[in-house]
Amino acid sequence: MKRLAMMVIVLFSIKSSVAQFENTETGARATGLNGAFTSLSNNSLAVFYNPSGLGQLKFREISFYYGPEIFGVSGLSQAALSYAEPTGFGVFGAGVKTFGFELYRELTFILSYGNVVNEKVFLGVSANYYQLSIKNYNSASAFGIDAGAMAYFTDFMKWGFTAKNLSGSTIGISKEKIPQVYRTGFTFQPLSELLMILEAEKDVKYPLTFRTGFEYSVYDIADLRTGISTEPVSFSAGIGLNYRMFQIDYTVNNHQELGISHHGSVSINFGGSDSKKFYRDQLKNAFR
């Protein structure tokens, strides 16, 4: 019970944690950008951030993410698995995410679909199944819908939007509302190796949050990332290493109130080394 009490203290220290399934960041790359990923979403993490981003993908990808001892609480961890499969009918994605430990566990299962409307506009939708389990108490489950959109405006700028829990779903006999979150932002690519992202997030119950992230690629071998957010203030820094079809990402995040947490991901992109160059030049190629 001591660990359960510690976890409850942590949860209620976070601004949006009065409801279950709060909008925590997923994946070491997105966390390295401090969650500013809505208008980027060019890998399998799109199932967690913006399903329309799946429409950009041309190669099959699978990714595993793990965050141990979140905010220094022993046993409190977060993990996720995401998968993207391009087809002739659009791109299908799937994800599973777990948060908590043996006394308290949140599970989210996601099925997503994204497709291109024309060369520069993308739409997507996700169906979510939420399951909450508390040891020695009843479990509960619910379904929810997310939707997203993306557009390439110029050869160096694109826009993204996503609505989380657009269906307004609730969970449990208390009908606790699963967080309803809206995100929008822009990705700028002034140089082929540099990405700059500006984003705004609004949970319907809480103040507006702003995020910014930067990613710089070094010879397509390493990616350096950093990001900052407000409400609450947090800083992140990370690195990604690329070798053929493999990418390994690591991020450290410093939360204003809860301290430091570590995040790691391993991704396999079946496009191999060609996929890195393709996604780097994708925005410019759309306007040629």
Taking only the tens place, the pLDDT of each residue in 85-119 is: 999 999 999 999 999 888 888 999 999 999 999 88
Residue 239 CB coordination number (10 Å): 16
Here the tokens at position 188 are: 């700028």
Backbone angles phi, psi at 12, to 5 degrees: -80, 0
Residues 210-249: tens digit of each pLDDT: 999 999 999 889 999 999 999 889 999 999 999 999 999 9
**pLDDT grade, residue 67 (50/70/90)?**
very high
Residues 246 and 248: their CA atoms lie apart, in Å, by 7
Residue 266 bridge partners (DSSP) = 64, 248
The 3-state DSSP composition of the chain as helix, strand, coil percent (nearest 5) reads 15, 55, 30
Answer whether 63's CB lies under 8 Å from 82's CB: yes
Residue 9 CB coordination number (10 Å): 11
Residues 107-159: tens digit of each pLDDT: 999 999 999 998 899 999 999 999 998 887 778 899 999 999 999 999 999 99
Q: Check pLDDT > 80 for residue 5.
A: no
Answer whether 206's CB lies under 8 Å from 15's CB: yes
User: Pairing between strand 222-229 and 234-243?
Assistant: antiparallel
Q: Which domains are assigned to the chain? A: 27-285 (2.40.160.60)
Q: How far apart are the first and last CA of the chain?
A: 61
**pLDDT grade, residue 71 (50/70/90)?**
low
Strands, E assignment, 45-156: 61-67, 77-87, 90-101, 104-116, 121-134, 140-154
Q: How many helices, marked H, and strands, marked E, lie in the chain? A: 4, 16
Q: Check pLDDT > 80 for residue 16.
A: no
Residues 179-188: tens digit of each pLDDT: 999 999 999 9
In whole angstroms, how far apart are CA 20 and each of 7, 139, 176? 13, 12, 8
Q: Check pLDDT > 50 for residue 56.
A: yes
pLDDT at 223: 97
pLDDT > 90: what percent of the chain?
70
Half-sphere exposure of 147 (CA within 13 A, CB side): 4
pLDDT at 162: 97
> Which tops the pLDDT comparison, 52 or 71?
52
Three-class SS state of 41: coil
Residues 130 and 170: their CA atoms lie apart, in Å, by 10
Answer whether 92's CB lies under 8 Å from 129's CB: no
Residues 184 and 161: their CA atoms lie apart, in Å, by 4
The structure tokens 């009065």 sit at 18
**pTM (two decimals):** 0.90
**pLDDT grade, residue 200 (50/70/90)?**
very high
Residues 17-37: tens digit of each pLDDT: 334 677 778 999 999 999 999
Q: Per mean pLDDT, which range of 42-46, 174-178, 209-213, 275-279 is the poorest?
A: 174-178
Q: Check pLDDT > 70 for residue 2.
A: no
pLDDT at 14: 41
pLDDT at 20: 67
